[in-house]
Amino acid sequence: MDMTSKLWKEMVDLEDAVFFLQLSDGRLACYYNYVVESELAGYIHVLGECGKVIYSFHVKDRAATISSLPCLVQESQVSAWAMLEWRLEVDRAEEKKKEDRDTEIVVRPVNGEFHSTTSESHLLNMPLHILESIMELCVGVEYMKFRATCKRCSLAAPLIQWSTKTKLKSCSLISLWLMVLDNYQDTITFIDPMFGDMYFMKTPQELKGGYEIHCSRYGWLLMYKFEKGSRLVFFNPFTVDIRELPEVKYMESFCFSAPPTSPNCMVVGFTRAGAWHVCIYFVSRESAWSVYSLEFGSDPYYFHFPIFRGQDIYTLCNDERIEVFRDLTDDDYSWEDIGDVPSRSSAQYFLSNCDQHLLLVIIGKFGRSVEVFKLDESTQEWEKVDALGKHMIFICNTSCLCLEAKSPEMGNKIYFPRLLHKDNTKIVFYSFETCRYHTFDDKHIQESFGANFFETKHLCFPHAWIEPSWP
């Protein structure tokens, strides 16, 4: 509260301040203090789940981390600030281990002599054309870091447009990237889940001001901005191509059948509110949306994760069953219920399409369980899938994409929009081979860090998985 103007102003950074909220056992308590130069600073910590879990939300980064309190702390009935001190001690111990690893000096024998790894490199003594040849094989962040080292490195690695570099194209297509839209700093970040590289670009002027990501496919994003005269746009961040669609009311979920550059691109949106529940738009044919009303009765349906299979649209309804819409562009379209989904308590459901099979992914609370089912449409029964083989699944709040892995290391895994705590490049995935969570270190799988999402970070900025693509 600005006491002069009597107006509320949003804080985008708590800096050295910290909040602690205690919501468990039907009690509500709020603590506030300054903790200068502390790992706790900048966070809102929430004690929940009957005192067994701490949710930590970093205001500036807009990322949430969950931590499990040890039984000893739970049983001691200490104050909330004592629990914060426990969290601080855990962070200090982890940081100390990291510092010890970073400062360790490794000595190796070379040609019968011993040399420290801290000795000066002779890389820059080689001819410039040799350095240039080496840099032709480098991509992404390693290219940029090398170029920034010195003037000689800058000459060997000239400034290029990263989206047009042939080697970058071929290497980047191994995997989808996680794209994060920072609406406060107006930046877009891409994270490569295998190599851990990060790429940045400024948000185009036309997309500033609070856009949400509703759908991602074919290297394009369908983005919505809720305001007077609401805007719906297609955006390709690799070509910076923005295509505005006609105004449409707020829809809860969207899907599209093809890239907007295709003459067959159809966009479909679903909502529970109002008189019209389905909106359809052909990008290359129509000048306005076609709208349809559904007979919900007394229980409005919530459709999410809609996907195209040919001209039919399959969608998850109320996390309870699968609905299919056939011939939506005709007045005599059909709307069918094709079966219930397996019921799980406190779980998240995701729907995807894989090799003409309908897949259902169920993630248990805190990621403690991961299940995948395939629908047998002849019997309308779900068959449990124990392995994905050469396929990989990428899930987030708005999309669930199943693709064939182009690298064997990427297959048989589910990738989440989660990062290791205090590491902004390590993306978390679930391996069906180990039934555990891991991250990549280049192409090497790091050791398991657990059987749940504890000590991982969830991004609260708008984000989506996107397929890197260039003309």
Within a domain: 158:
no
Specify the 3-state DSSP secondary structure of 93: helix
pTM of the model: 0.80
Could you say which of 102, 127, 149 is where a domain stops?
A: 102
Length of the chain (residues): 471
Could you tell me if 71 and 193 lie in one domain? no
> How many degrees, rounded to 5, is the angle at CA 463 between CA 45 and CA 402?
120
> Is 276 among the domain residues?
yes
Regarding whether 189 and 56 lie in a shared domain, the answer is: no
Looking up tokens 């203090």 gives 33
Domain boundary among 79, 102, 125: 102
Q: Do residues 306 and 172 both lie within one domain?
A: yes
In a domain, 307, yes or no: yes
Identify whether residues 77 and 183 lie together within a single domain. Answer: no
Residue 172 shares a structural domain with residue 71: no
| Residues 377 and 252 grouped into a single domain | yes
- Is residue 141 in some structural domain? no
Name the residue type at position 221.
L
Residue 290 lies in a domain: yes
CA distance 433 to 365: 21
Chain CA centroid to CA 50, Å: 28
Sequential pLDDT tens for the chain (471 residues): 888 999 998 888 888 888 888 876 666 778 888 766 677 788 898 887 666 788 899 998 899 998 887 654 444 444 555 555 656 666 666 656 555 555 444 433 333 333 334 444 566 677 877 877 777 766 555 666 676 677 777 777 776 555 444 444 444 567 899 999 998 888 899 998 988 888 888 899 989 878 899 999 999 999 998 776 678 999 999 888 999 999 888 889 999 999 999 998 999 999 988 788 899 999 988 788 988 888 877 777 899 999 998 889 999 999 999 999 988 777 778 888 888 999 999 899 999 998 888 999 999 999 999 999 999 888 889 999 999 999 999 999 988 999 999 888 999 999 999 998 777 788 999 999 999 999 988 777 887 777 899 889 998 999 999 988 765
Give the integer Cα–Cα distance in Å for 409 and 392.
Answer: 10
CB-CB neighbours of 101 under 10 Å: 8
Statement to judge: residues 93 and 182 lie in one domain: no
Q: Are residues 85 and 210 in the same domain?
A: no
Q: Are residues 68 and 217 in the same domain?
A: no
Claim to verify: residue 237 and residue 346 sit in the same structural domain: yes
Domain presence at residue 329: yes
Q: How many domains does the chain have?
A: 2
Shared-domain flag, residues 62 and 192: no
Position 425 in a domain: yes
For residues 173 and 93, membership in a common domain is answered with: no
Where in the sequence is the domain holding 55, given as residue range(s)? 17-102
Reading the block at residue 340, the tokens are 């219930």
Is residue 143 domain-resident?
Answer: no
Q: Of 73, 102, 131, which residue constitutes the final position of a domain? A: 102
